[in-house]
Amino acid sequence: MLKDSISSNKNDNNVVLIDYGYAARFEDKNGKHITQHEIEDFRGNVLFASVSQLEFQSNSRKSDLLSICYLLIFMLNDLEMPLQPIDGENDDLSDTFAAQIKYKKGTSFSKMIRQLDQYHGSSLGK
């Protein structure tokens, strides 16, 4: 999921998904579940990607749900995420992927929210 795929209006509290360009089928023509497989190119946003996506595995329903959770945390925290790369800070994309994989494997969603609460002084995790 890309953050450019989201449209929101603070006046009516609606969030709208506006781009399904990376959508993929999860069943084949016979209704059988498509198994996860390795892919050549990463598609999406590193901040919202699941660990399996960062490890170049095809999208799944699970990875889509995890991406939505990361996106919600991002939206609820003033458009910031842990390990959010700062423009120009790190030109080596493999380091960014490795840092995100390490962080996401070792951090539950509730811990991530608590960390952001401490940083911003908010109360999302309460």
Q: Could you tell me the pLDDT band of residue 6, with boundaries at 50, 70 and 90?
A: low
| pTM (global) more than 0.85 | no
What was the pLDDT predicted at 120? 63
What CATH number did the domain enclosing 33 receive?
1.10.510.10
Summary mean pLDDT of the chain:
76
The total of structural domains in the chain comes to 1
Inside any domain, residue 125: no
DSSP code for 125: T
Extended strands (E) in 1-126: 6-9, 14-17
Q: In this structure, what token pair is assigned to residue 113?
A: 């929210």
Distance separating alpha carbons of residues 21 and 101, to the nearest angstrom: 24
Please count the helices (runs of H) and the strands (runs of E) in the chain: 4, 2
Domain residue limits at 109: 3-120
What was the pLDDT predicted at 35? 86
Inside any domain, residue 27: yes
At residue 57, the 3 state secondary structure works out as strand
Inside any domain, residue 126: no
